[in-house]
Amino acid sequence: MARTAGSHSDITGPRVLDAALRLFARHGYAAVSMRQIAKEVGVQAGALYNYTPDKQSLLFDLMRRHMDDLLASRAKRRRTGSALEKLEDFTRFHIRYHLDRSDEVFIAYMELRNLTPENFAEIEALRREYENELEAILRQGEEEGVFAPADTRIETMAVIAMLTGVTTWYRVEGRLSADEVERIYWDMVRKAVSV
């Protein structure tokens, strides 16, 4: 065969996902057309179908990648230590990760209802897996007696909601550095779950 795999495809391919990511985050999945994505890439709409079977797959791929990357990044972090240490690690990781990938996070939380039922189930399972990591830490803390006895499932949801909310107001050019934000949120989380 002439021409090795992808001469432009290894350039255009990623750009398609990049453009879809940015546009979906800005205007929402349903409000973005394939022609808008194509224009952003600098190509005609038909060419997109060399890189995705359909629009839905574009959304699903972005979410799937995000969740895989989130779980993989999390897995690299320390696993041992006290519940308090683990919670601080989780908190700082979550804040930093979400600040660094605001578009991906935004889509992952806003566009769930635009997934087909099967795709939704798959993403939801990954999200649940991530939440379970936090819940395990909270339970360990209860057993150690450093965290207040409480409904750990609700605590989990409350903490994650609080932390993820940082993406709605944080701006890199703003008043606070990511380090300061990490510290402020860690302060609140620690107190919220402690005895």
Partner DNA sequence: AATTTAACTGAACATTCGTTCAAATCAAAG
Partner DNA sequence: CTTTGATTTGAACGAATGTTCAGTTAAATT
**Residue 192 contact partner, candidates DNA, a second copy, none, CB within 5 to 8 A by sort of partner:** a second copy
Query: Closer CB to DNA, residue 46 or residue 149?
Result: 46
Kindly state the tokens that stand for 99.
């600040």
Question: Tokens 């949120």 sit at which residue?
Answer: 185
Chain residues 24-63 in contact with DNA, contact rule CB under 7 A? 32-36, 38, 42-50, 53-56
Q: Is 20 in the site for DNA (CB under 7 A)?
A: no
CB of 24 to DNA, least distance (A): 11
**Residue 108 contact partner, candidates a second copy, DNA, none, CB within 5 to 8 A by sort of partner:** none
Q: Is 14 in the site for DNA (CB under 7 A)?
A: no
Residues in the chain: 195
CA-CA distance, 48 to 57, in Å (whole number)? 12
| DSSP symbol at 48 | G
- How many residues touch DNA (CB under 7 A)? 31
